[in-house]
Amino acid sequence: MQYRIGYGEDAHRLEAGRTLTLGGVVIPDSPIGAVAHSDGDAILHAVADALLSGLALGDIGQYFPDTDPQYRNMDSKVILQHTLNLVQQKGYIPVNVALVVTLDRPKLGPLRPEIARSVAALLALPESEVGVSFKTSEGLALNHVQTRVTILLQQEARP
Ligand SMILES: Nc1ccn([C@@H]2O[C@H](COP(=O)(O)O)[C@@H](O)[C@H]2O)c(=O)n1
Ligand SMILES: C[C@@]1(CO)OP(=O)(O)OP(=O)(O)OC[C@H]1O
């Protein structure tokens, strides 16, 4: 059985008057949201990069350049689905995901199950295979969101 580990990161600046979307979940009543070319979903971007890195397939900027107007405001679920397809074409599937979001505000704890469920559904995994942690920056980066992700990939058994 062949296994590969993938690692991904993403960060976005946060500004008032924008939407904050994390793991495909719109964070309700957030006073700040991501400045980005796409919807700025720092979880989905980091998960997508982790999928690609596990198989040395590059990063999402190569597939979805932020200079291309067709990707403006795009739904990051499309990015994740594309990278998952690439991984599956190489004969691998995700086994489990561990992700850490660093964000000072708003508090995300109450949304942990919803975010885990959303990421799990997008990766066709049970919710129990998606670990979600939140950290503050202790005030060092108030207008900033950062996500770090590790993912285990397993080669699909061939009949
Ligand atoms: N946006 C956030 C950030 C953190 N939490 C939770 O707060 C606890 C303490 O975080 P520290 O960074 O001070 O260690 C921890 O249990 C986090 O889950 C949160 O809910 N939302
Ligand atoms: C997703 C893309 C493309 O719209 O742009 P952003 O939303 O700015 O996100 P980032 O994680 O900085 O880089 C990947 C980009 O290619």
Write down the pLDDT at residue 1. 73
ipTM of predicted complex: 0.94
**What range defines the domain where residue 129 resides?**
3-155
Least Cα distance to 57 among 93, 80, 90 occurs for 90
Residues contacting ligand 2 via CB (< 6 Å):
10, 36-38, 40, 45, 60-61, 64-66, 71, 74
66: CATH:
3.30.1330.50
Write down the pLDDT at residue 92. 98
Tokens 């990051």, residue located: 76
pLDDT tens digits for range 92-131: 999 999 999 999 999 999 999 999 999 999 999 999 999 9
* pLDDT above 90 (res 157): no
Write down the pLDDT at residue 159. 72
* pLDDT above 80 (res 158): no
Ligand closest to the CA atom of residue 62: 2
pLDDT tens digits for range 14-72: 999 999 999 999 999 999 999 999 999 999 999 999 999 999 999 999 999 999 999 99
Contact between 107 and 30 (Cβ < 8 Å): no
What is the count of structural domains for the chain?
Answer: 1
Residue 150's Cα: distance from chain center in Å?
10
